[in-house]
A = this chain, B = another copy of it.
Amino acid sequence: MEDKRENIIRSAIEEFSKYGYHGTRMENIAKRAGIGKGTIYGYFDSKKTLFYEMIKHGIDEYIRGLNALLSQDKTLEEKLYDIYDFHKSYLKQFMDFRQVIMREREVLPKELMVDILKDLKEIPHSMEKAIKEAIQKGELRKDLNPGIAATIIMGSMGQFYGNKVFSNEDPNSKEIGDLIDTLLRGLK
């Protein structure tokens, strides 16, 4: 059944994101999923395979969620707030898949990595599209390079969230408003 797989992947995400690939034990994934450890092998060939499927699944979900946000009929400013919240809740619950992939890039064979990287490039692409729309609507200035604007926005928000977590401060603080204000003011 598909929801058994889903259930295992869900548990895998939580364990792998906490302990990394080598630090995660199949037994703990099984326990978290409420099943026996042998059962996992009925659905996935190996730890490596499970790891790979988990990444694919996580990226898919992230992209789907991000696209849903970006395709809403809102101003860019509103979308930025949404994106920060989405990013935050995603990171809190799961992980930053780009980091995992970077980190464990020696775990998977090259052909699988290529596959993953292809998916991953979708993310800035989605963001760029939203920027272009904002330029056309006049929310941002015309001479802006959309790729660079996307880099600045995503990078700043990731860094902001990271700083908060490192400092053990509340990532919900209203300073996020200041960040978005400053970003938009610079890009308008």
Q: Which residues of A are in contact with B by a Cβ distance under 8 Å? A: 18-23, 98-100, 102-104, 106-107, 117, 120-121, 124, 144-145, 148-149, 151-152, 154-160, 162-163, 165-167, 175, 178-179, 182-183, 185-187
Question: Shortest beta-carbon distance, A115 to chain B, in Å?
Answer: 13
What are the 7 tightest A-B residue pairs by CB atom distance, in nearest-first order? A186-B186, A155-B159, A22-B22, A155-B155, A22-B23, A155-B156, A152-B156
On whether A160 and B166 interact (CB within 8 A), knowing A106-B23, A107-B23, the answer reads no
Give 26 A-B contacts (CB < 8 Å), ordered by A residue: A18-B106, A19-B106, A20-B104, A22-B23, A23-B104, A98-B162, A99-B103, A102-B162, A102-B165, A103-B103, A117-B166, A145-B182, A148-B178, A151-B160, A152-B179, A152-B183, A155-B156, A155-B158, A155-B159, A155-B160, A156-B156, A158-B158, A182-B186, A183-B186, A185-B186, A186-B186
Q: Which residue in chain B gives the minimum CB-CB distance to A167?
A: B121
Contact of A148 among B20, B22, B166, B179 (CB under 8 A): B179
Known contacts A98-B166, A155-B157, A166-B121; decide if A182 and B18 are in contact (CB<8 Å): no
**Besides A20-B21, A148-B175, A152-B152, 14 new A-B residue pairs in contact (Cβ under 8 A), listed by A number:** A20-B22, A21-B23, A22-B23, A98-B166, A102-B162, A120-B166, A121-B167, A151-B163, A151-B179, A152-B156, A152-B182, A152-B183, A152-B186, A186-B186
User: Whole-angstrom distance from the CB of A28 to the nearest CB of chain B?
Assistant: 11
Which residues of chain B come closer than 8 Å to A98, judged between CB atoms?
162, 166
Task: Report the minimum CB–CB distance from A43 to chain B (whole Å).
Answer: 17
